[in-house]
Amino acid sequence: MYIQDFKALSVRCIENFTGLREFLADPTVKALGWPDDVVEQLLYDHARNGALQMDYGHIDLNDLTWSRELVPTGEFLSMPTGPSDHDAIEQWAALHEYSVSNRERLSHMTGNSRHAGIRAKWEEEGTWLRAPIVLDARVIGTARTGLQLVEGRTRVGVLRGRHRDGLPVAVEHWTWIGRRRSAAETRPFRPHQGAGLLRS
């Protein structure tokens, strides 16, 4: 299964107002065995995204497994994203204060709880409300190693902007990491560094 295979289902669930619940209940989605949060961010929200298709449409989704892990701030300061949106992280870094304020304002105006408490989360804990989505670069087939950001460019942009402006950020951040099932048992990753705020 590939990202484009979920486009029609995403469109139908959104247009028919049956939403995420129907999407998650679909047998094809359930067969992936992915965490609901990853399904929502990557497939439900973005299966219709042309840039995502261009950058990751070649990946066999059945071969991916996911784990929620703590990733150090330093890793995000240089982490690339897909070529179709290669400058998006830096654009959001320059607008980090606006991004947080705007999402907080919209959550109050619309009653949508998705971004409720975003400012307090950044100011008190120095991190995001929701784990972004990254892939082991070997999954993508690039020459580089390490991790590549797939979804969460605004979040990582806010992190970079705050770090650059000398505002407190957490030492590490919860992140969804996708790896090939065959490589999951031998995954190279850093040990947990402990809680706390990092001041640049």
**Residues 6 or more apart whose Cβ sits within 8 Å of residue 144:** 80, 137
Tell me whether residue 16 is in a domain: yes
Check residue 146 and report its DSSP letter: S
Query: Domain of 73?
Result: 64-198
The answer on 77 and 36 residing in a single domain is: no
> What residue has token string 């399904």?
39
Q: Is residue 118 part of a domain?
A: yes
For residues 185 and 97, membership in a common domain is answered with yes
Specify whether 161 is located in the same domain as 75.
yes
Residue 80 forms part of a structural domain: yes
Residue 59 lies in a domain: no
For residue 54, being part of any structural domain is answered with no
130 vs 112: which has the higher pLDDT? 130
User: pTM surpassing 0.75?
Assistant: yes
Give domain status of residue 57, yes or no: no
Least confident of 5-9, 15-19, 91-95: 15-19
- 125 and 187, same domain (yes or no): yes
Distance CA 100, CA 93 (A): 11
Residues 68 and 44 in one domain: no
Residues 88, 171: contact at Cβ < 8 Å? Answer: no
Q: Are 43 and 100 found together in one domain?
A: no
- Tally of domains within the chain: 2
Helix (H, G, I), strand (E, B) or coil at 1: coil
User: Does the pLDDT at position 188 exceed 70?
Assistant: no
Judge whether residue 115 has pLDDT over 90.
no
